[in-house]
Structure 1
Amino acid sequence: TQDIFLRLHEKGFIYKDTMSQPFCEEHNRFLADRYVEGICPNCNSNGARGDQCDGCGNTLDPKDLIAIKHKGCESTLIFRDTEHFFLKLSAFEKDLINWVSEKTHWKPNVKNFTLGFLEGGLIDRAITRDITWGIPIPLEGYEDKRIYVWFEAVIGYLSASIEWASQTDNPDQWKNYWKEDSKPYYFMGKDNIPFHTVIWPAMLMGYGGLNLPHDVPANEYVNMEERQMSTSRNWVVNLKDYLERYDPDPLRFSLASIMPETSDSNFSWSEYVRRNNDELVATFGNLVHRVLSMTTRYFDGVVPQPKGKDNLDNSLIEKANKTLLLVATELENCRFRRALEHSMSLAQEANRYLDAKAPWSAAKNDPDSAGNTLYHCLNTINCLKTTLSPILPFSVEKLHSMLGFEGTATDNGWNWQPDEVSEGRKLGEPKALFIKLEDSVIDEEVSRLGIT
């Protein structure tokens, strides 16, 4: 943080100026932004802080707030002049607009919010405060001031990667994540968009030699049973409690299905149970169990030999190959809902293929046909193992073993082209990947909400 501060200061992107800061006479101290609140001048939300409004996402200055007060003692505040260092954001306005305008792969809500923020004009912002905690200013004469958290927090991405590399055999490998051809992704909620699409990129531009964000796939908000989540009111799902009762993958699947990529979404226990039972158990899990059980029953658990391809076979193979490409593209573009939809579409197609081929009927009189069907189903399941691995990592490891592979599904890294489930491979014992949930779970879990 001090290195970046000094570099920006030397280049003229950080300068000194006098500003009015909120001062609490009762406590005889200047107040940090998070200790003051009032009404947002942009959206009229109550409880806006001195640095940002969660209601509309806009960054603020304490002077902007209406009916400002000290959050700790509720006293009315006055403003006093004090000298601070400012980041010259205005110097980067044109470059930032050009940079963001070229981001065709960004989510529309992120790009549009950022451009609207920039086109309103960038105002230089104070990056120090009259406080005694925090990172010291690396210049003499400012021992009673500190670099403020909103400036140094985003630098943690850089300092953490440097610290991580310092503990490895190659302390310079942090540079791999910051060089020009790297693709840094920054995941967050929509309230943090301007810090990562405006302020942090401006700091990187001013510092020089470090790569700017490739994508900032900020999400909107997830509500709980049509209400805003609240830890204080216990209107949340506590992960520790959840894992005492259920497996992690159904929750990962449910959240990926409703991920608020472009608008707010809602988590409900009724929809969680429905997705678990209808999509995980009845669609994907049932496909896996039927195919592996029939291979065990009719071919002693050994992958049968393929015997040519007909139109149905070719259609399934083509869809599997297409799904690999589609899911890879959607994941790279951070469109996780669509990635999951493509995978589940393939699972549905494989179930239809299995029903049309009916290998259970052919097994006695035409074992070659039954074996051919099961071979193609097994390799389609292996394709799904790959495409669903980011969403269902624990279930994928079980499936990896059931398909006769050794080690873990990621032993060879993120290889997006799955190895063939080849003829003669001995499969593992078929087991249910997912557990059907009773409807009573819905009322049980909803009744836990709001209990403090």
Structure 2
Amino acid sequence: MARWLVASAWPYINYVPHLGTIIGSVLSGDVMARYLRSKGEQVLYVSGSDEHGTPIEVEAIKRGITPRQLTDENHEKVKKLFEAWKISFDNYTRTESPVHVEFVRDFYLKVYRNGYIFTQEEELPYCPNCRRFLPDRFVQGQCPKCGYPEAFGDQCPSCGSPLDPKDLINPRCTICGTTPEIRSTKHWYFDLPRFAEKLKKYVEENPRLPSNARNFSLKLLREGLKPRSLTRDVSWGIPAPFPGAEGKTIYVWMEAVLGYISATIEYWRLKGEEEKWREYWFNGARSIFFIGKDNIPFHVIILPALLMASEEGYELPWTVSSTEFLMFEGKKFSKSQRIGVWIDEALEMFPVDYWRYTLLSIRPEVRDTNFTWELFLEKVNADLNDTLGNFIHRTLTFLCRFFDCKVPPEGELTEADRQMLREVERAKEAYDRLLGEIRIQQAVQTVTELARKANKYFNDRQPWRLAASNQEEAATILHVASRVVEALASLLEAFTPTVALEIWRMLKLKPGENLKAGHQVALPKPLFRKVSLKEVEEKAGGGVKVLEEKVTPEDLARLGLKVAKIVEVEEVPGARKLYRIKLDLGGGLIKQTVAGLKTYYRADELLGKLVVVVSNMKPVKLMGLDSEVMILAAEDDGRVAILTPERPVKPGSRIL
């Protein structure tokens, strides 16, 4: 039996990960690990905290602590958060692990001795005040491509362009602000171009690679590979093992990508089985890597090339599941601009399985996907509460009401009953096929669709009506429905493990046990609860959203739609996205609203603007402030635009 290594890209722990990070690598990897285990496969699931590199060192210097103090704190925090998210790692380690440090040094010394590493002199910025070279985040200046004034030496955070630190306009040392000099320094390079033909063959002949990984990698190969820098002039990192490389460390990207191997070694070493790690990297072992698309070059090009360069016979990645980006209400996640939700904040707002289900159901497998609060409400209220939760609760409630909480015998099946049982088998087959192809989003939809069909079956068959007149038929319906509940418990385990365990508890079964006639179940408790837009706004400072529902002309007439003029805009203390806005509705009437527009408009852009408001809404309190009217806005793929009249009109004018 083949061994499976499931690997999630190591999160960089200068900050807590956000929703986009967890869906692309960690949450997706957890689903696959849980699924493979449920099939009886031998699986090892690994990842760890990526803690070296200049962003960590710069942040530590600014805070007056050592990089190790910073990463010790963040590693433990992130590790506990992943546990709270129910991520089932076998080993979540770190790049400061002695096992990792030892392995990386030994690995690169071997590659060096195999003749695939060379040295080269290069010119880099040097700070005479700090007496250090300034790689990557240690130097800032104006981006030569977009003009952004705070670009880093390795990349511009505004336009995303990779940069050479020598190309920055008006460069300065990030730590002290001194203008750097240009000095010569020697670095070690991995001779990546020597593996171009083998890599091309690997990519072209691997049918499991997703199209974004395949196409991007082939594009890089067509353009021609370049040697990759292996070392940096920084103290925080793994000391380079090469002769004459004293004072150099291994570049963070080039050592973190080897962490999957060291994590495997560490796991089995702690188990007292020193050599067992080889079963997961040699002799037909299969590895699945879960990453975001920005990591494709390191996992489809560089990691395979390094494994080849070792000449040890490592199995190359069996496949790499590379997601597109998750956007937040049409924008990139940004800690500095406070755009998005981070995984610690998420758990403070709503239960973990609300997040797991929502993110997995929109997993960006083909294109960039947009997370919105409106979508979150739809997933929780319509899918989880009204579809999955409703069916399971109704089934178990009627079992207890009419059959003393015992599963009745099957009885004679009608065509509708047989069709429902066929739907269960179809769902299981589709689930296996889709997860086998790592199409997680569609696998989630398959489970929800099964619950939707089960609700229709239950409504059409109406066992509550038959319980008095034809108890045998009612018993058969509830027997079939109970088997659907059992199937849902099994199918949900990989996606919403906490909820799945609760379903098994109510069924009084251990996960995977079969439900039989006569088995006693527990009185059900609601699995989910509905979430309101108001609750989201209170907890997250959500933006103005208009949820679609069918209305009559009379309903519209009751809305007091008027034009108002914004006369005052203030930030709300403690709220990331809210403004307190005062509006003139004409005739001396001033009303106040609390609106989530901070992400989309500056205060000066709103002041004096004519807007359309619902003027007769019942006042509510947000962040302790009265909100008396609602500003109407349109949303297009995460971009919000306030509705305004075509030409100037008086405040208070009615919308007809």
**Normalising by the residue count of structure 1, what TM-score does the alignment of the two structures yield?**
0.89
Matches of 2:161 and 2:415, distance apart in 1: 56
Matches of 2:222 and 2:159, distance apart in 1: 16
Matches of 1:100 and 1:57, distance apart in 2: 26
1:338 aligns with 2:442: yes
- Shift in alpha-carbon separation, 1:136–1:443, aligned structure 2, 3 A: closer
Query: Which residue number in structure 2 is paired with residue 347 of structure 1?
Result: 451
Residues 222-269 of structure 1: CA distance to partner in whole angstroms, max 9, x if unpaired? Answer: 222333222234333244344344211111111112222222222222
The structure that is strand-richer by fraction is 2
Secondary structure in structure 2 of the residue aligned to 1:187? strand
Residues 350-372 of structure 1: CA distance to partner in whole angstroms, max 9, x if unpaired? Answer: 11111221111111222121111
Percent pairwise identity = 33
Amino acid at match of 1:69: P
Matches of 2:119 and 2:230, distance apart in 1: 10
CA contact (8 A) 2:346 2:355 kept: no
Spell out the pairing of 1:346-365 with structure 2 (5 A cutoff).
346-365=450-469
Query: Which residue number in structure 2 is paired with residue 165 of structure 1?
Result: 268
Query: Which residue number in structure 1 is paired with residue 169 of structure 2?
Result: 67
Residues 29-75 of structure 1: CA distance to partner in whole angstroms, max 9, x if unpaired? Answer: 3222332456778x858566544567787766546x45373450565
- Shift in alpha-carbon separation, 1:163–1:60, aligned structure 2, 3 A: farther
CA contact (8 A) 1:36 1:68 kept: no
* 1:142 maps to which of 236, 239, 245: 245
* 2:190 maps to which of 60, 81, 87: 87
Query: Which residue number in structure 1 is paired with residue 15 of structure 2?
Result: none
CA contact (8 A) 2:133 2:233 kept: yes
Query: Which residue number in structure 2 is paired with residue 35 of structure 1?
Result: 138
- Superposed displacement of residue 430, structure 1: 1.0
1:232 aligns with 2:326: no
CA contact (8 A) 2:122 2:186 kept: yes
Matches of 1:173 and 1:40, distance apart in 2: 49
1:298 aligns with 2:402: yes
CA contact (8 A) 2:142 2:171 kept: no
* Number of aligned residue pairs: 440
Matches of 2:203 and 2:267, distance apart in 1: 30
The structure that is helix-richer by fraction is 1
CA contact (8 A) 1:287 1:350 kept: yes
* 2:226 maps to which of 115, 120, 123: 123
- Superposed displacement of residue 95, structure 1: 0.9
* 1:205 maps to which of 308, 317, 327: 308
Residues 148-197 of structure 1: CA distance to partner in whole angstroms, max 9, x if unpaired? Answer: 22211111111122112111132323223212432222222222221111
Matches of 1:56 and 1:90, distance apart in 2: 28
Spell out the pairing of 1:206-221 with structure 2 (5 A cutoff).
206-207=309-310, 208-221=312-325
- Superposed displacement of residue 123, structure 1: 0.5
Matches of 1:348 and 1:51, distance apart in 2: 50
- Shift in alpha-carbon separation, 1:397–1:17, aligned structure 2, 3 A: same
Query: Which residue number in structure 2 is paired with residue 251 of structure 1?
Result: 355
RMSD of aligned C-alpha atoms? 2.6
* 1:188 maps to which of 288, 291, 305: 291
- Shift in alpha-carbon separation, 1:211–1:274, aligned structure 2, 3 A: same
Amino acid at match of 1:366: N
Query: Which residue number in structure 2 is paired with residue 439 of structure 1?
Result: 533
- Shift in alpha-carbon separation, 1:124–1:62, aligned structure 2, 3 A: farther
Query: Which residue number in structure 2 is paired with residue 278 of structure 1?
Result: 382
Secondary structure in structure 2 of the residue aligned to 1:103? coil
CA contact (8 A) 2:112 2:242 kept: no
Question: Which ranges of structure 1 fall in alignment gaps of 5 or more residues?
Answer: 410-417
Matches of 1:279 and 1:306, distance apart in 2: 29
- Superposed displacement of residue 344, structure 1: 0.9
Question: Which ranges of structure 2 fall in alignment gaps of 5 or more residues?
Answer: 1-103, 542-574, 579-597, 599-656
Matches of 1:117 and 1:40, distance apart in 2: 24
Query: Which residue number in structure 2 is paired with residue 112 of structure 1?
Result: 215
Matches of 1:67 and 1:86, distance apart in 2: 27
Secondary structure in structure 2 of the residue aligned to 1:202? helix
- Superposed displacement of residue 77, structure 1: 4.8
**Normalising by the residue count of structure 2, what TM-score does the alignment of the two structures yield?**
0.63
Matches of 1:54 and 1:314, distance apart in 2: 57
CA contact (8 A) 1:269 1:446 kept: no
Residues 94-129 of structure 1: CA distance to partner in whole angstroms, max 9, x if unpaired? Answer: 111111112322222222112112211110122112
